[in-house]
Structure formats: structure tokens, C-alpha cells
Structure 1
Amino acid sequence: MLTQTLFRSEDLPAADRFDAWCDLMGQSHAPMQMTSEFAADFKARQSVIALGAVTVYPTSFQQVVFRRTPKLIRQSDPETYHLSLMVNGNGGARWDRREAVYRPGDFHTSSTSAPYEAFGGPESVAIIGVEVPRSLLLLPSNRADQVMGLHLSGQEGVGALLAQFLAQLVSDTSPYRPADAPRLSTVIADLTTALFAHTLEADAALPPESRRRTLFLRAQAFLRHNLTDPELTPDQVAAALHISRSYLYQLFRQESTTVAGYLRRLRLEAAHRDLADPAQRTTPVHTVAARWGFRHASDFTRAFRTAYGISPTDHRHHAAKARSSSWSGEESRRNAVTLSAPGES
């Protein structure tokens, strides 16, 4: 059977749990500074599966912030790449000027040789962590380092192969013998290499301006798709695109707009159409407003008047009057044609 070590914080006194967790993570990954809102009574579990050079560890833990600082790197660097397959919860990370967020099905990546800050929460997080030595990746280090912060999906392509392999491995290690560890280690290293290479090729295929424009279009599409959700926030949009909120704001600034401004315009245009629709003439104005994400009727009326120079109620009345006039004019034209039709006496 494969060598496996289990850690459960509940086996320790509450006051010792967070320190023990920090020590464990320092051994599993690399020494880090760690903080948590739950440090006084921290809850975490980790099962470390040793595969020789590669280590796999399914882990669950409460909200925590990890920091790998330049000072800690100088003190100790095992020169490994870390991958976390997000199973439950959400997280994020920062490297210098690059930021990323992660949801279930995503891979977070980091290098023990580069400073970063990672965080999980606010709810509890479950991951499958993997440590792969640089020496096992069949990519130059300067190329592999470029993967940090890019979006690596565990739900499609090579990422799905790696995610499925890890999930099957941690679900039941009993079929494997100690002699299988090096073989399993090689499979994980090869799949990690393939995932890194695939990600770099896909990212390199788009020039920077095309990548930026593609992200902006995706953000617009996400907003349109979720237009009726009154709880929609920039954080949700950024998470869907696997970018930071600050970068999302930057994308919209470069298009001379804002996330909130674009969302408000889409919602007002939808409400404007509905209020002019004769099939909805009996639907209360506040119902139309709520349908398109406006929680307060007064806010909707104010925004509508600012955008169109008229109140929602007046717009509905004017649209109805215009339809009536149009219908009367059309009826008169039809009558005139009938009266003057040739052959009639």
C-alpha cells in the first residue's frame, strides 16, 4: 500500500491546531507565512500520499491566507511547482502584478521559487494539492514559470485528464503498492508538463490585444446572460473570467465605460423595450424594474429619467399613444385606398 499520512486538527488542542497546520504545510509545500480568521480554533484535514519525488495531498481547511515571501525563498526553496485542484470553495492568488481567482474545477499553480500570496475562503475550501519538482517537468523553467496566474481548467482537455487521475488516486489508494509510486509520479509529472505546454501554446496563440478584447467580450456576454440577477456583482464577473476585479475594471476603462455603467445601460434598455410592449401594458412599472435587476423602484425611475429624459410611466403612455396614432393613420390609409380603388362605383 502507498505511504500515506493523515492529519486532523480535531486530534489536537484548539490552541495548537493552527501552528501544527502551518508546520504541516511548510513540510508539504514550502515554508510560508499564514494567517486565518479561525486561528484560535482552526479546522483542517490533510492526507499526504508520498509518491517519491511527487507528493499528492487531498486537503480541506478553513479560511486562510498563504504568503511565500522573498525572505522565505532565500531561506528554503525545494524548487517545486505546486498545483491545487479546487474541489469545493473558492480561492485566489497574486504574483507581483498578476492576479487570478479559482472556482471548483480550476487548477491553481505556484512556484516555491517565486513570491506569491494565495487565499482560500471565505467558506471552507477543499483541494487536491500536488507538488512536482522542476526537474521532472519536460519544459524549460523560464517557460513553465509563465504558467503561473494563467487559467488552467480541470474540466476539459489535458486538465481534465490530470484532474480525473488525481481524483481517482485520492479516492482509494488500496489498489496501489509501494512499487507503483514511481510510476504514478511519472504519470503526474507528464500530465502536468502536458497541461503547462497546452496552456502556454493556447495563450501564445493570441496577441495581447486580442486576449484583452476576448476577455472584454466574454465579460459583456456574462453580464447579458445574468442581467436579471439583482445580486450580480463585479466579483462574480471576474470569477467567471478567472481574472481579478481590478483587471476587470481595467478592461472596461479601456473601452471608455465601467462595469456598473454597462450593466445599468443593458438593464435600462431591456426595461425600455418592455414598457413599450403592448403585450405588457398591464404589468406594473415596478415589476418590470424588478425583472431587470432594479431592487428599488425609486432608483429605477431616477436612472430611467436620467437616461431617457422621461419617466417610465410617461414613456409607456407615449408609446401607447404612438401606437394608437399609427393604427389610426394606417386605418385611414386603408379606407382611402378602398374608396378610390378602380372599378368601384
Structure 2
Amino acid sequence: MGRSRPVERLSNELWSHELAQAFAGLHAERHDNGELPLGALAVMQLGDVGMYDVRGTTQVVRRTSRTAHSESVDLLKICLIERGSALVEQGRRRVSLDLGDFALYDLRRPYQLTLHGEFRCAVMTVPRKVLGLPESTLEAMMEHRFPTGRGVGQVFASYLRSALDERETLAEGPPVRLREAAVALLAATLGSAFAEGTDLPAGHANVVLRERVLDHVRVHLADPHLSPAAVATALHMSPRSLHRLFEDSGETFGGTVRKLRLDAVRRDLTDPLLAGRSIAAVAARWGITDQPWLSRAFRAEFGVTPSGLRRRVTGS
């Protein structure tokens, strides 16, 4: 596939406009060196997942309280440093990033990102619900930097950079599976870092266990007999302990499985490669055999029935 054109740096005025347009009102400011912030970005949209190639000079980019309130978006954002360094500040959190590190932060809240030197970042935005993680787990993860020098983190970083480099060619094809791969690699990187011993703040000792449960659920999502008892047995814990892992998440174990399955069905229904497969067959692929239940639950979750979504996508 052909390499995409390089990103050309914009003037300060154009850069400020592009930044605000791409990231819901994000504002660039001078750093202590007093130089005007300059930069440029390129965008690739994969459904509800955004990818951005961002580069520029030393500067501070800020999402203010006013902007966060007026342009609220329920997205999580990662910034992967490919050149330069950065400091991410959100609330009481301060996460320093060097080459190859990324941080996770929340676009519903104000934040400040100080970028040092001639920087380049690979940025990704995802709806928080697609990761399927409890809120307390996300809160714990946002307190840490995630290195990508080896293992699944390196695979994720390579995928993100490759996708951005080939954005013009990839834009010609269906985004469904590319989006699925990006989300899966991000989730795997986050979970792997914690499982390998990333320091957890007090009160978050259940994060690794919850990740193990969610990983098991994702692998066995197609099993119609997936149940708390089956998962608990497979992971050598009691069903009560399993349910307790989800108590502070605002979701039950069953509700989490339900959302993951409905998301998987929605993804398949928008995949052109599966256009010839019946809705019943798509649902059965993800362990759902009750069609009336599927129609009700799907409409409640997405505001449209499975058949309505397919008609919207295919135009027939």
C-alpha cells in the first residue's frame, strides 16, 4: 500500500482552528518559551473510533471546564508519544510521558497536556463503553503511563502508526474490522500492563482480577451457556467473589456480558462481509438465540432494531 503524504505544519491561526475542530474545542497556548504554538494533524475515522497524527512545537493544549461542559463528549483519549515528551494533567493526576509512552484520559473533564520539543503523537479516541471496563478500573488506569516498548503494547503502537501512515488507502475500505482490531489491541495493552505488575493505587486491587474475568468473557462470548458459575469455575473463584468484582462499576456481570454481546452483534450487522448472513445467524454467533429479546434489548441500547440497522446500512 502506498505511503500517505506527510503532514504539513500550519500557521498558528490555522493550527488553533484545526485543533479545536478535531478535539471538541481543545485550545493551544504558548509555553514558557513564549513561542507561538504551531502544529498540524491528520485524521482517520473508523466509525466511532478516531485516530490522529499530531505534530508541532512546544506548547500547552488545554480543555477548559467551560469547554468540557459546553462540548461534552463521552470519549476516552490516548496520546502516544513518538517524538518529544509530554505531561498530562487532569484533576489531581499528573502523568509524565517519554518516547513510546501513552496515557489514558477522559474528555468529559478538563485537562492540560504540555508538549515539549518538536513533538509527534499518535492519538486515539474511543467511546468509554467499547472497552467494557468498570469505571473504577478506568479511573485507576488513568493514573498511569503505559510503555509500548515490548509485548502487546509494541503491537498496539505499531498498528496505530501503520494505520495512520496508510490512512488514505485504508479510507477506501470498510472500517469495521480495522476499528475492531484497534479497540482490541488498546484493551489488551491496558490489561496487560496491569497484569504485569503496574503499581495500583490503594483500593484498586481488584483491577487485575476484573481484567481476567473480562478477557475470559470476550474469548467465550459466543458460548450461549456463558454464566457467572461457568466463569467463576474457570477462573477458580466463587460466583459471589465474581459478582463482587463488579459491585463498584455501576454494572452487573450479566449487564456487562449483555453489552459486549450487543456491541458484537451491532458490529457484525454493519460489516459488508457479513451482509448475506441472517440476523439470527449473527446473533447466534454471539450466544444470543432469543430473537424477541434481541430486538427489544438492541432497540433499548442503540435506539434501532437489528433489522432497522441493517436496512440503514445496506439501504434496502
Amino acid at match of 2:150: E
Residue in structure 2 matched with residue 31 of structure 1 by the alignment: 25
Matched, 1:126 2:120: yes
SS of alignment partner, residue 76 of structure 2: strand
Residue in structure 2 matched with residue 155 of structure 1 by the alignment: 149
Residue in structure 2 matched with residue 57 of structure 1 by the alignment: 52
Q: Identity percentage over the alignment?
A: 20
Instruction: Indicate conservation of the 8 Å contact 1:18/1:39, yes or no.
Output: no
| 1:54/1:6 CA distance change after superposition, 3 Å | farther
Instruction: Indicate conservation of the 8 Å contact 2:87/2:94, yes or no.
Output: yes
Residue in structure 2 matched with residue 145 of structure 1 by the alignment: 139
Residue in structure 2 matched with residue 117 of structure 1 by the alignment: 112
Matched, 1:179 2:173: yes
Instruction: Indicate conservation of the 8 Å contact 1:35/1:65, yes or no.
Output: yes
Amino acid at match of 2:142: M
TM-score normalized with structure 1 length: 0.52
Write the distance in 2 (CA, Å) between the matches of 1:117 and 1:207.
22
Structure with max Cα Rg: 1
- The runs of 5 or more residues in structure 1 that have no matched partner are 11-16, 212-345
Aligned residue pairs: how many? 202
Structure-to-structure mapping, 1:187-198, within 5 angstroms: 187-198=181-192
- The runs of 5 or more residues in structure 2 that have no matched partner are 206-316
Write the distance in 1 (CA, Å) between the matches of 2:5 and 2:139.
30
Residue in structure 2 matched with residue 265 of structure 1 by the alignment: none
For residues 42-70 of structure 1, give each alpha carbon's deviation from its aligned partner in whole angstroms, at most 9, with x where no partner exists.
43221111222111111211111122222
Instruction: Indicate conservation of the 8 Å contact 2:37/2:58, yes or no.
Output: no
Instruction: Indicate conservation of the 8 Å contact 1:6/1:48, yes or no.
Output: no
For residues 149-173 of structure 1, give each alpha carbon's deviation from its aligned partner in whole angstroms, at most 9, with x where no partner exists.
3020111222112101112222334
SS of alignment partner, residue 89 of structure 1: strand
Write the distance in 2 (CA, Å) between the matches of 1:108 and 1:56.
15
Instruction: Indicate conservation of the 8 Å contact 2:82/2:120, yes or no.
Output: yes
Write the distance in 2 (CA, Å) between the matches of 1:5 and 1:141.
39
TM-score normalized with structure 2 length: 0.56
CA RMSD for the aligned pairs?
A: 3.1
Write the distance in 2 (CA, Å) between the matches of 1:118 and 1:23.
17
Deviation at 1:174, TM superposition (A): 5.5
Deviation at 1:182, TM superposition (A): 1.9
Instruction: Give the counterpart of 2:70 among 61, 75, 79.
Output: 75
